[in-house]
Amino acid sequence: MCARRTTPPHRARGALRGVGARWRRERRRTGPGTDGDTGPRPAALARIPRPARIALACVPGLVAVTGLVLCAVGVDRTPGEAKRPVAARAAVGHQAARPPIVPRERWLADAAYTRPPTRYAGRVTAVFVHHTDSPNGYDCADAPKIIRYLYAGQAGVRHWDDIGYNFLVDRCGTIYEGRAGGIDRAVVGAHTQGFNVGTMGIAAIGTFTAGVPVPKAMTDAIAAVAAWKLGLVGIDPRAHVRLVSTNSLSKYPAGTRGTFTAVSGHTDGYWTACPGAALMARLPEIREHAAHLQGRR
């Protein structure tokens, strides 16, 4: 029987309208796109196991929400936990202040799926920026619901081990913890195929293709998270880092090294337009702001 909590309010439904078509367009451009992902496509819903079909029937818009996983291309099966929002703390040397972060319990509610043990890398040396390829006109109060649908599409329908992104940012600049495992730790995510280990994925909630305005509050928040996480290991957000690919479906054959700016876009590592031309164009500004937050010139 469908639980009442799974029915989104009017604004949440509106925020998800049109995502299915975007999912189909992006799939034609990029193909399946995840490390080992064989999750169902909207056209193949008849092949989804019956419990999942029941879930789809109970959650209006969830088929469309499978489109929101587009930018989480890459699954290195993963997921400890931050329990409270964390206030900013003073920077030390080139370690930036930790920005306030909404813990995942705020959006997860009672929708959690069983997770395998969290996997960790030694440290985070690079950040990949994404967009969720979902509508932009949402009320920021609905961001937790949108994230919950994202999670349902990835962990429920597609059987990923958790939401792929480590952090998500809404258009008002609120930062949300995504993948479980502890915000201070180097949690291996599922966001950039071939380059999930030792990196962090930050998703901007919305679609930021060419000509679409990117809210300053959003870019400031992305910069704040990047500055803090990279500062923990002394990395300048403007620096170049070398990463080893784990999957030949990325832009680099498995086992080879690629050179990336410490804050890069999803498209730098994988064959996709994510995070959109408009957000990609803002990355230089985001890097500079992040470096400034670390106390660098």
The rounded radius of gyration (Å) of the Cα atoms in the chain is: 18
Element at 265 (helix H, strand E): strand 263-265
Q: Encode the chain (297 residues) as per-residue pLDDT tens digits.
A: 333 333 333 344 444 454 444 434 433 333 333 343 333 333 333 333 443 333 333 333 443 344 444 454 444 443 333 334 433 344 456 889 999 999 999 999 888 888 889 999 999 999 999 999 999 999 999 999 999 999 999 998 999 999 999 999 999 999 999 999 999 999 999 999 999 999 999 999 999 999 999 999 999 999 999 999 999 999 999 999 999 999 999 999 999 999 999 999 999 999 999 999 999 999 999 999 999 999 998
Give the phi and the psi of residue 204 in degrees, each rounded to 5. Answer: -85, 120
The residue behind tokens 């809404």 is: 170
Residue spans of the domains in the chain: they are: 4-293
Contact of 94 with 294, CB cutoff 8 Å = yes
The pTM of this model reads 0.74
pLDDT at 115: 87
For 4-293, CATH gives 3.40.80.10
The pLDDT assigned to 92 comes to: 53
**In the structure encoding, which two tokens stand for residue 10, read together?**
């009017």
Q: What is the pLDDT of residue 56?
A: 36
Which residues partner with 200 through β-bridges?
127
